[in-house]
């Protein structure tokens, strides 16, 4: 009898998913601190690196020190006898031939062998071992004797397709057929232009440089494998591990409850995770494998370097007439993406466009998705190009951009559910004091030149199924949220708990989030593509609404009035209209009898024929010291349309974090390979690879938002914000440098050396 109730209660959960937007939210939109803030800052959060399991061994990996070599001989005998060593895996084992699957967004590529005797990058895995302590493991590694045949190496994309260069794979050095896009008539477009500009831009290879390096802890219980690994993609890693080890998917459990930064480099199965699993299986003991900082620089992904040739034309009224964008990117030693040109075709309302992306292999660690992948590199070129055009016709860069804001997506013609790019530019410019700052250049005698720059951005996000979340309410008014989403540090846990609090009218402190564990959650999409809030907020809201509906039905039965006349407030049942006595949940006998109410939610499908995208404009002010070449970013202002801002604190963290990365992109970050001699990376550490620190980040940082009240995108009204914050920062800085000095720096990062060289070249040219 009761069962029928419970089941029939679930029947109308479809309705729960057609939810009206919140009209007057009391929790969502508030600047609330992280629900896991204490754990994260106090050190009590247990990241995979903190995990200690009984009898756990520690593993280490022997890596090829050369960018290109053949392993002729490997002798592990001495290492095997070294104190504490329990197991070794290498290409001599059948497991050594295991092939690591590419993530789903890389449809094909040459096979990635676990231990390939043909080593294609510095740091490629040659063998691994597990010992009682990490020290014993590293000591034993040194006893491994490897005979390498060094091969000549290829380090630059520009050389990859030239004859006589080393070939990385049987299929050659071309990753895939170049991807070309075209609309309109390019020649006609250039013909219609009043001004033409042509320029080549280059970006450097950047490292994700997450505070937490890659770590995996693996444990077998019989044929059941559990892996603790910081990842954005628990279900993808589960599937990849199961496929590689030929296990049922349900026999692999992936747990990722704390992630110490990811930015895209923790979204696919890594070799170290598989190695930990293999060593644990060999030894029947848990194995921890934590990469050193150096290893993470060499082997854990990067933003691929691009060489981008652009030609563009515009009329004097500021309208773009044509754009040609050709990109060459180096993915590293195995297949990935290094595209940039295609992105530009979706930015501005330009009728005639041709883009081409070509990707090649080089002898260096493989690229991985990196916050705003492709888009950030693309913007470095395009947003400077726009500035050059504006400069050439003597138009304000903000005005030029406003002129070319598209009404629909320029590539597909589809309308956006909302687009506030125009308002972002206008509101941002006003708050920044743009017009005044554009004219107020420093006097020419001062070696420190001031300038301001702007850049805009968009990011298309995709929500929708399949994803399932469960919200469970207890009779004491506390609740549990169960979802697949990891929290890479972005605040996903906090925001989703806020959605539950909003919907059920209970305090945030009474909501526990259980998440990011394939063993305990239902399938949910990976965190990535800035879609976490789009996928999960509507799903969580639907689940909470499902709980609420069931709860109000119980209350209706006990209070003998229709459920529609009741509501939830401050964790109590209250009448919707006339004043009445609030009823505590604990007084509802049927709730107590049921012990819990569980509600199930999915994200609703995407709106048909509409695109969902976030937009933004960023403004930078810089000081360039023309004597030293030093550049200081003294002011950054972002104005973004990310849909509803779920929590201003986490939203700001995203934007500020993105801008900090943008500063690094623009000014300091760069993988340096020794292309004179060894081909090795010379700055695989945080001393020589410089990410911005507190001293490099301007005190004057501001984040403004425009809420388009987008009811169409999803029931939360929220669009993504993860990636977009970093996309326009670097070109805004480069444009500011140009404004300050009149020098267009096309190559990122703008190091003092480069700046000085360009200043010297100009002096000579005069």
Of residues 488-517, which lie at the interface with a copy of itself (CB under 8 A)? 509-512, 514, 517
Smallest distance, Å, CB 711 to a copy of itself? 17
Q: Smallest gap, in angstroms, from Cβ of residue 545 to a copy of itself?
A: 12
Which residue, 13 or 355, has its beta carbon nearer to a copy of itself?
Answer: 13
Which of 148, 181, 190, 474 binds a copy of itself (CB under 8 A)? It is 474
The nearer residue to a copy of itself, 435 or 509, going by C-beta atoms, is 509
Could you please report the per-residue DSSP string of 458-519? EEE----SS--EEEEE-TTS-EEEEE----SSSSHHHHHHHHHHHHHT--GGGEEEEESBTT
Angstrom distances, CA of residue 422 to CA of 501, 536, 617, 718: 34, 28, 9, 19
- Least Cα distance to 428 among 451, 407, 406, 456 occurs for 456
Which of 8, 24, 18 minimizes the C-alpha distance to 542?
A: 18
- Of all helices (H) and strands (E), which one includes residue 671? none
Contacts (CB under 8 A) with a copy of itself, residues 672-691: none
Shortest gap between Cβ of 715 and a copy of itself (angstroms)? 11
Stretch of 200-208, 214-222, 577-585, 678-686 contacting a copy of itself, by CB under 8 A: 214-222
CB of 233 to a copy of itself, least distance (A): 12
- Comparing CB distances to a copy of itself, the nearer of 46 and 431 is 46
Residue 482 as a binder of a copy of itself (CB under 8 A): the answer is yes
Other CB atoms within a 10 A radius of the CB of residue 629 amount to: 18
Using the minimum distance from each CB to a copy of itself, give the nearer residue, 381 or 591: 591
The region of 57-65, 358-366, 463-471, 734-742 touching a copy of itself under the rule CB under 8 A is: 463-471
Read off φ and ψ for residue 190, nearest 5 degrees: -65, -35
219-238: contacts with a copy of itself (CB under 8 A): 220-224, 235
Residue of 466, 562, 582, 742 that binds a copy of itself (CB under 8 A): 466
558 sits near a copy of itself (criterion: CB under 8 A) = no
- Closest approach of Cβ 158 to a copy of itself, in Å? 40
Count of Cβ atoms closer than 10 Å to residue 584 Cβ? 12
Element (H, E) at 311: strand 306-314
Q: Are 624 and 741 in contact (CB under 8 A)?
A: yes
Smallest distance, Å, CB 256 to a copy of itself? 14
Q: 198 is written with which tokens?
A: 């042509």
Least Cβ distance, residue 145 to a copy of itself (angstroms): 34
Q: Is 59 exposed, middle or buried (0-12, 13-18, 19+ CB in 10 A)?
A: buried
* Tokens matching residue 310: 């652009």
- Measured from the CB atom, is 11 or 677 closer to a copy of itself? 11
Q: Which of 251, 292, 625, 747 binds a copy of itself (CB under 8 A)?
A: 251
Of these, 20, 23, 24, 54, which contacts a copy of itself (CB under 8 A)? 54
Residue 520 binding a copy of itself, by CB under 8 A:
yes
- Can you tell me which of 31, 83, 519, 742 binds a copy of itself, judged by CB under 8 A? 519
Site for a copy of itself in 150-209 (CB under 8 A): none
Of the listed pieces 250-258, 294-302, 649-657, 752-760, which binds a copy of itself according to CB under 8 A? 250-258
Q: Which is nearer to a copy of itself, 11 or 444 (CB)?
A: 11
The answer to whether 351 contacts a copy of itself (rule: CB under 8 A) is: no
Long-range Cβ contacts of 587-592 (<8 Å, 24+ apart): 588/475, 588/551, 588/554, 588/555, 588/558, 589/558, 590/554, 590/557, 590/558, 591/475, 591/551, 591/554, 592/475
CA distance 573 to 550: 12
CB nearer a copy of itself, residue 436 or residue 608? 608
Give the DSSP letter string of 72-124.
Answer: EEEE-HHHHHSTTEEEEEETTSGGGG-EEPPPTTS---S-EESS-SEE-STT-
Q: Which is nearer to a copy of itself, 250 or 693 (CB)?
A: 250
Q: Number of residues in contact with a copy of itself, rule: CB under 8 A?
A: 74
C-alpha 745/C-alpha 751 separation (Å) is: 10
- Extended strands (E) in 554-658: 566-569, 572-575, 583-584, 597-601, 613-625, 631-641
Stretch that binds a copy of itself, among 249-257, 404-412, 418-426, 639-647 (CB under 8 A): 249-257
The interface with a copy of itself within residues 268-307 (CB under 8 A) comprises 284
Of the listed pieces 24-32, 115-123, 518-526, 642-650, which binds a copy of itself according to CB under 8 A?
518-526
How near is the Cβ of 286 to a copy of itself at its closest, in Å? Answer: 9
Rounded Cα distance, 760 and 418, in Å:
47
Phi, psi angles (nearest 5°) of residue 430? -65, -50
Tell me the C-alpha distance between 708 and 434, whole Å. Answer: 23
Distance in angstroms (rounded) separating the CA atoms of residues 570 and 504: 8
Report, in Å, the least distance between residue 481 CB and a copy of itself: 9
Residues 146, 71: contact at Cβ < 8 Å?
yes
Return d(Cα 680, Cα 67) in angstroms, integer. 6
Residue 10 in the binding site for a copy of itself (CB under 8 A) = yes
Binds a copy of itself (CB under 8 A): choice among 19, 29, 36, 424: 36
Nearer Cβ to a copy of itself, position 180 or 509? 509
- Could you say whether residue 477 binds a copy of itself (CB under 8 A)? yes
Site residues (CB under 8 A) for a copy of itself, limited to 590-609 = 593-596, 598, 600, 602-605
Is the CA virtual torsion 360, 363, 365, 370 positive or negative?
negative
Q: How far apart are CA 700 and CA 207, in angstroms?
A: 26
Q: Which of 171, 478, 567, 701 binds a copy of itself (CB under 8 A)?
A: 478
Write down the least CB distance from residue 469 to a copy of itself, Å.
Answer: 11
Name the segment binding a copy of itself (CB under 8 A); options: 36-44, 401-409, 432-440, 753-761: 36-44
According to CB under 8 A, which one of 250, 412, 435, 693 is a site residue for a copy of itself? 250
Gap between the Cα atoms of 418 and 710, Å rounded: 6
Instruction: State the nearest-atom distance from the C-beta of 221 to a copy of itself, in Å.
Output: 5
Distance CA 737, CA 428 (A): 19
- Report cis status (omega within 30 of 0) of the bond before 743: no
CB of 719 to a copy of itself, least distance (A): 19
**Closer of 324 and 487 to a copy of itself (Cβ):** 487
CA 129 to CA 88: how far, in whole Å?
4
Nearer to a copy of itself, 246 or 676 (CB): 246
Whole-number minimum distance, CB 698 to a copy of itself, in Å?
Answer: 32
764 is an interface residue for a copy of itself by CB under 8 A: no
Q: What end-to-end distance do the CA atoms of the chain give, in Å?
A: 92
> Cβ atoms within 10 A of the Cβ of 606, count?
18
């Amino acid at each position: 009898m009761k069962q029928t109730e419970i089941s029939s209660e679930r029947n109308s959960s479809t309705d729960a998913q057609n939810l009206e937007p919140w009209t007057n939210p009391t929790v969502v939109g508030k600047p609330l601190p992280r629900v896991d803030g204490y754990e994260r800052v106090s050190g009590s959060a247990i990241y995979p690196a903190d995990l200690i399991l009984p009898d756990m061994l520690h593993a280490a990996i022997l890596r090829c020190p050369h960018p290109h070599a053949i392993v002729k001989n490997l002798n592990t005998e001495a290492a095997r006898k070294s104190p504490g060593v329990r197991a070794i895996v290498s290409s001599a084992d059948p497991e050594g031939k295991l092939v690591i699957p590419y993530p789903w967004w890389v449809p094909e590529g040459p096979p990635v062998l676990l231990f390939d005797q043909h080593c294609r990058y510095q740091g490629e895995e040659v063998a691994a071992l597990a010992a009682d302590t990490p020290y014993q493991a590293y000591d034993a590694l040194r006893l491994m004797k490897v005979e390498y045949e060094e091969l000549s190496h290829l380090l630059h994309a520009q050389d990859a397709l030239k004859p006589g260069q080393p070939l990385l794979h049987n299929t050659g050095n071309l990753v895939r057929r170049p991807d070309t896009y075209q609309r309109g008539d390019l020649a006609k477009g250039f013909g219609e232009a009043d001004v033409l500009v042509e320029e080549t831009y280059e970006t450097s290879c950047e490292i994700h440089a997450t505070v937490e390096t890659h770590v995996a802890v693996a444990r077998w219980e019989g044929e059941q494998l559990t892996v603790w690994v910081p990842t954005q993609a628990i279900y993808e890693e589960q599937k990849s591990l199961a496929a590689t080890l030929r296990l049922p998917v349900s026999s692999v459990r992936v747990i990722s409850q704390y992630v110490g930064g990811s930015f895209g480099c923790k979204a696919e199965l890594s070799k170290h995770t598989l190695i930990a699993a293999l060593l644990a299986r060999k030894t029947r003991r848990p194995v921890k494998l934590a990469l050193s900082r150096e290893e993470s620089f060499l082997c854990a992904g990067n933003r691929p370097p691009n060489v981008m040739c652009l030609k563009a034309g515009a009329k004097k009224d500021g309208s773009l007439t044509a754009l040609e964008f050709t990109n060459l990117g180096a993915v590293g030693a195995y297949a990935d993406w290094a595209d940039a040109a295609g992105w530009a075709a979706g930015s501005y309302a330009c009728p005639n466009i041709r883009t081409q992306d070509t990707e090649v292999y080089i002898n260096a660690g493989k690229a991985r998705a990196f916050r705003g992948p492709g888009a950030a590199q693309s913007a470095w070129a395009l947003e400077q190009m726009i500035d050059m055009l504006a400069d050439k016709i003597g138009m304000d860069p903000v005005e030029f951009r406003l002129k070319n804001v598209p009404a629909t997506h320029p590539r597909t013609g589809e309308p956006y559910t909302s687009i506030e790019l125009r308002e972002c530019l206008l509101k941002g410019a006003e708050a920044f004091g743009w017009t005044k700052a554009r004219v107020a250049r420093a006097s020419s005698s001062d070696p420190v030149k001031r300038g301001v720059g702007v850049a805009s951005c968009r990011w298309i996000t995709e929500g929708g199924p399949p994803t399932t979340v469960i919200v469970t309410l207890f009779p004491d008014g506390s609740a549990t949220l169960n979802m697949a989403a990891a929290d890479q540090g972005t605040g996903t846990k906090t925001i989703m708990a806020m959605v539950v609090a909003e919907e059920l009218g209970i305090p945030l402190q009474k909501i526990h989030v259980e998440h990011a564990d394939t063993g305990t959650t239902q399938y949910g999409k990976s965190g990535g593509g800035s879609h976490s809030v789009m996928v999960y907020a509507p799903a969580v809201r639907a689940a909470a609404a499902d709980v609420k509906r069931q709860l109000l039905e119980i209350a209706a039965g006990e209070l003998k009035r229709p459920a529609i006349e009741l509501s939830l407030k401050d964790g109590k049942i209250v009448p919707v209209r006339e004043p009445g006595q609030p009823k505590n949940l604990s007084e509802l006998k049927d709730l107590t009898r049921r012990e819990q109410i569980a509600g199930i939610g999915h994200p609703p499908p995407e709106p048909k024929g509409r695109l969902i995208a976030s937009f933004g404009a960023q403004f930078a002010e810089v000081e360039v010291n023309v004597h030293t070449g030093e550049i200081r970013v003294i002011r950054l202002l972002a104005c973004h349309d990310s849909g509803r801002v779920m929590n201003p604190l986490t939203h700001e963290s995203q934007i500020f974090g993105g801008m900090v990365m943008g500063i690094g992109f623009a000014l300091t970050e760069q993988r340096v390979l020794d292309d004179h001699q060894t081909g090795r990376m010379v700055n695989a550490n945080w001393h020589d690879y410089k990410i911005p620190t507190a001293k490099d980040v301007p005190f004057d940082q501001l984040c403004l938002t425009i809420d388009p009240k987008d009811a169409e995108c999803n029931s939360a009204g929220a669009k993504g914000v993860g990636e977009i914050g970093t996309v326009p920062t670097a070109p805004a800085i480069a444009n500011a440098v140009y404004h300050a000095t009149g020098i267009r720096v096309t190559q990122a990062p703008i190091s003092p050396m480069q700046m000085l060289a360009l200043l010297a070249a100009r002096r000579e040219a005069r």
